[in-house]
Amino acid sequence: MVEKRKPLAVKEAIERVLKYSVHGESEQVDLQQSYGRFLAVDIIADHPVPPFDRSPYDGFAIRSIDTKYASTDHPVDFEVIDEIGAGSVSEFTIGEMQAVRIMTGAQIPSGCDAVVMLELTKVFQKAGRDYMSLKRSFNKGDNISFKGEDTQYGNILVKKGAYISPGIIALLATFGYAKVAVVKKPQIGIIATGSELLDVDEPLVPGKIRNSNSYMIDAQARRSGAEPVYLGKLVDDLEKCYEAVKVALENVDFLITTGGVSVGDFDYLPEIYKRLGANVLFNKVAMRPGSVTTVAEVNGKLLFGLSGNPSACFVGFELFVRPIIRTFLNSERAHLQRVTAILEEDFLKPNPFTRFVRGRISLTAGKVVASPIGLDKSNVVTSLADANAFIVLPGGTRGYKTGDNIDVLLIDDQTGSEFSWAESFK
């Protein structure tokens, strides 16, 4: 008699896995290698930005008080006593009716409290000296980019755990981080099981298929911020699989196996968990695809038994492995980002389990719409290529109709989300 597995709600299953989350250590990398990594420390402003009052325009730095009576009928003349470009500092302190010709980014000379754009001035020479005239008045502070207006000293600008984007790289450079403390990437072991599996470069022969899961998982692991370690594909042989899993567990932070978790005669993972004395957190989840997703723990180390079916494997990774990787990387938004979208096609098939339909979201007339892609079966591979989201259809008897508001999880997004989205899952 085949064991009857009890399906666990998706939310509970994720929570069980997260109980075993661990945080990674930090390492220093060059700034230029830090893109796409996760910050191991907060970035705190150790100086104000800008660090000095500066000109936002090419023009003249003046004393605003000298422009008080300037008008179209009464232009006022200023003697230009110096000229500075960005990077230079004027040695002069300007006096009454004097100006410094200044370029964008240059430090405001002492005595000046406003900048006039070049276009509003007329320059001329008199008795061998440089002058400019103005036809309107200015207030103190006009056209000055003030010290600290961007950020003040001591502000926390980015919290640890943030995904390092090009914008964050700009901040790191601004504050002098030639080396950046990032969280070490977790090493994710990947083992594919299945006697039917061929290598990618092998020709098809009857009954066999190429191993696509390992390469898919490898890419998903990288996208999540982990370092995949491909440990090969194994034929369905209990001893060989057991040995490989046992050895792999010692050498990686997390281990993923694909295939062999269901109830087939050659599905050996359940027996391997037994032999390892593993604590199986669950072996059935109330979701489609990926209901066979199994997660076990051995001495605190997580072992993800993902389905052999490509779509189920893909979904299992994004729902269970990604948050563990992101938590390892200190992210507070470890889960897929959720948005609300309008369903573009009827989805009338009822199902007691929550569905994660591979779909595509797009903007149509300013609204986020989502449509399913391809065959909604756990064994399909082609729909994965075009999918940028999972359409979440909570279980129940009713189907879903065009125009329904539905939750969508973004799979190619780096921002992530806190766990709140799971609240709506059965």
Ligand X SMILES: Nc1nc2c(c(=O)[nH]1)N[C@H]1C(S)=C(S)[C@@H](COP(=O)(O)OP(=O)(O)OC[C@H]3O[C@@H](n4cnc5c(N)ncnc54)[C@H](O)[C@@H]3O)O[C@H]1N2
Looking at 31-39, 199-207, 287-295, 385-393, which segment touches ligand MOO (CB under 6 A)? 287-295
Q: Phi first, then psi: give them for residue 240, nearest 5 degrees.
A: -65, -45
Task: Find, among 290, 331, 294, the residue nearest to 425 by Cα.
Answer: 290
Q: Does 309 bind ligand MOO (CB under 6 A)?
A: yes
Pick between residue 80 and residue 313 the one whose CB is nearest to ligand MOO: 313
Residue from the set 39, 158, 188, 292 that interacts with ligand MOO by CB under 6 A = 292
Number of residues in contact with ligand MOO under rule CB under 6 A: 9
Task: Pick what 310 binds: Mg ion, ligand X, ligand MOO, none; C-beta below 5 to 8 Å, kind-dependent.
Answer: ligand X
Burial class, 207, CB count within 10 angstroms (exposed 0-12 / middle 13-18 / buried 19+): exposed
Q: Does 98 bind ligand MOO (CB under 6 A)?
A: no
Residue from the set 193, 214, 307, 327 that interacts with ligand MOO by CB under 6 A = 307
Pick between residue 267 and residue 318 the one whose CB is nearest to Mg ion: 267
Q: Does 383 bind ligand MOO (CB under 6 A)?
A: no
Residue from the set 98, 220, 224, 258 that interacts with ligand X by CB under 6 A = 258
Write out 355-403 in H/E/C secondary structure: EEEEEEEEEECCEEEEEECCCCCCCCCHHHHHCCEEEEECCECCCECCC
Q: Does 189 bind ligand MOO (CB under 6 A)?
A: no
Burial class, 113, CB count within 10 angstroms (exposed 0-12 / middle 13-18 / buried 19+): middle
Task: Find, among 57, 95, 68, the residue nearest to 79 by Cα.
Answer: 95
Q: Does 213 bind ligand X (CB under 6 A)?
A: yes
Say how far residue 330 (Cα) sits from the centre of its chain. Answer: 12
Residue from the set 24, 270, 290, 310 that interacts with ligand MOO by CB under 6 A = 290
Q: Does 214 bind Mg ion (CB under 5 A)?
A: no
In this structure, the number of other CB atoms found within 10 A of the CB of residue 124 comes to 12
Contacts of Mg ion in 246-275 (CB under 5 A): 262, 264, 267
Pairing, β 337-343 against β 389-393: unpaired
Contacts of Mg ion in 323-352 (CB under 5 A): none
- Least separation in angstroms between residue 260's CB and Mg ion is 6
Q: Does 214 bind ligand MOO (CB under 6 A)?
A: no
> Would you call the peptide bond into 206 cis, given omega within 30 degrees of 0 as the criterion?
no
**SS3 assignment, position 203:** coil
